[in-house]
């Protein structure tokens, strides 16, 4: 009996040790899977011809469960592998992915208010979204300040190492700017609503200017040093994130501006949504073509699956919501077709990335120590 008790205790200890060891190399980049899944629900619900509600609800539920599991796993990572967590912060290739935590929280929160309310009720959905919005915004602003500081003060980076991954911390506030309008109608009228409107525009500016600073470095690296390494090639699609999300933000803010600010400013915000969104979406399509051509080149050269493939998902999803916003404000069928076409690409990319991710988890390959 005593031998059985000791054996069972040792088995439990080994199981706990095994769990802790499993998450040792679980980095912040895994939050990209949550972002990419959640935006399938949000983008599908905002299409000019929305996806059937049961489908978007199912995708939202999956994203919510994955976020919960991942938050717990990352907590174990920080508690039991602090040395590895600190090394991630000091690694210029990993630190920018801390912006993904913010965007994962915001993406699931927005999807909860948009489609999850059909399951948990509007009042609960507002509460969940409010909590995730505040947490995601605080984390995003912290990442937008801390990661560039680390890049300047602690990281040792050569210009030929410039990567679209650098955009992740600075694009996080743009996601807050796009999600804030959904909460605005639920705030008290007057100062609270105006503060949310203008705070969202301020975060729009933080992210947009940060993108304008980073993007020339990224394109300059491509022109001078050639294509990215194969495993990083999918990250070229990350450039679409701030472009599509900023278009989404200005259109969403234009929708709620009449209720939050004087009519003179509200009409200006409405005009700005189109004046800004149309050329930015045009550039997004140009970059999409460039990135797609380089991805095809990389596939021919033998590019295999990596977690970077989730870069095909959330950024494209932001272009779907951006195109849907332009379709709403311009009335052009062309934007309706654009949003629909991009959504088909998004769903395909998510299914492929999810399949390979699950297979990599089952085999243990994705959580193994990096080579």
Angle value at C-alpha 245, between 268 and 181, nearest 5 degrees: 55
Question: How confident is the model over 276-297, as a mean pLDDT?
Answer: 97
Of the options 1.10.287.110, 1.50.10.150, 1.10.8.60, 2.60.120.480, the CATH number for the domain spanning 20-363: 1.50.10.150
Rounded CA separation 314/103 (Å) = 10
Rounded CA separation 365/371 (Å) = 11
More confident residue, 50 or 23: 50
- Predicted pLDDT of residue 92: 86
Residue 77 has pLDDT above 90, yes or no: no
Taking only the tens place, the pLDDT of each residue in 32-65 is 999 999 999 999 999 999 999 999 999 999 999 9
Of the candidates 95, 272, 107, the one whose C-alpha atom is nearest the C-alpha of residue 174 is 107
Reading the block at residue 176, the tokens are: 């807050």
- Predicted pLDDT of residue 16: 43
Q: What is the 3-state secondary structure (H, E, C) of 255-293?
A: HHHHHHCCHHHHHHHHHHHHHHHHHHHHHHHHHHHHHHH
Taking only the tens place, the pLDDT of each residue in 223-269 is 999 999 999 999 999 999 999 999 999 999 999 999 888 888 889 99
Where does the pLDDT of residue 7 fall: very low under 50, low under 70, confident under 90, or very high at 90 and above? very low
Residue 156 has pLDDT above 50, yes or no: yes
- Predicted pLDDT of residue 371: 65
Question: How confident is the model over 207-234, as a mean pLDDT?
Answer: 94
Q: Where are the domains of the chain?
A: 20-363
Reading the block at residue 171, the tokens are: 């694009």
Q: Taking the CB of residue 223, how many other CB atoms lie within 10 A of it?
A: 8
Rounded CA separation 100/241 (Å) = 12
């Amino acid at each position: 009996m005593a031998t059985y008790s000791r054996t069972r205790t040792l088995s439990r200890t080994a199981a706990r040790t095994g769990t802790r060891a499993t998450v040792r190399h679980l980095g912040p980049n895994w939050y990209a899977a949550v972002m990419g899944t959640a935006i399938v629900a949000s983008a599908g619900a905002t299409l000019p011809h929305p996806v059937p509600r049961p489908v978007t609800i199912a995708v939202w539920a999956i994203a919510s469960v994955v976020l919960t599991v991942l938050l717990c796993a990352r907590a174990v990572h920080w508690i039991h592998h602090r040395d590895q967590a600190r090394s991630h912060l000091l690694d210029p290739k990993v630190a920018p992915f801390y912006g993904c935590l913010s965007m994962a929280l915001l993406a699931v929160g927005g999807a909860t208010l948009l489609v999850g309310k059909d399951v948990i009720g509007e009042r609960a959905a507002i509460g969940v979204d409010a909590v995730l919005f505040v947490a995601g915004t605080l984390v995003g602003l912290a990442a937008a300040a801390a990661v560039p500081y680390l890049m300047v003060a602690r990281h040792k980076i050569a210009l030929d190492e410039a990567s679209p991954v650098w955009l992740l911390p600075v694009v996080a506030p743009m996601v807050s700017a796009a999600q804030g309008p959904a909460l605005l109608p639920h705030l008290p009228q007057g100062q609270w609503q105006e503060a949310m409107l203008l705070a969202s525009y301020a975060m729009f500016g933080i992210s947009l200017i940060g993108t304008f600073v980073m993007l020339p470095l990224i394109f300059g690296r491509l022109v001078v040093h050639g294509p990215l390494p194969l495993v990083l090639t999918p990250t070229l699609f990350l450039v679409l994130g701030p472009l599509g999300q900023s278009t989404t933000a200005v259109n969403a803010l234009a929708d709620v501006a009449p209720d939050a600010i004087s009519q003179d400013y509200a009409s200006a915000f409405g005009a700005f949504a189109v004046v800004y969104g149309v050329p930015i979406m045009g550039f997004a399509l140009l970059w999409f073509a460039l990135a797609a051509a380089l991805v095809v080149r990389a596939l021919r050269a033998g590019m295999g699956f990596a977690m970077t493939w989730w870069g095909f998902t959330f950024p494209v999803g932001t272009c779907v919501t951006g195109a849907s916003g332009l379709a709403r404000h311009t009335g052009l069928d062309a934007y309706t077709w654009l949003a629909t076409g991009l959504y088909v690409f998004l769903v395909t990319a998510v299914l492929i990335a999810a399949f390979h991710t699950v297979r990599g988890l089952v085999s243990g390959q994705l959580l193994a120590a990096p080579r």
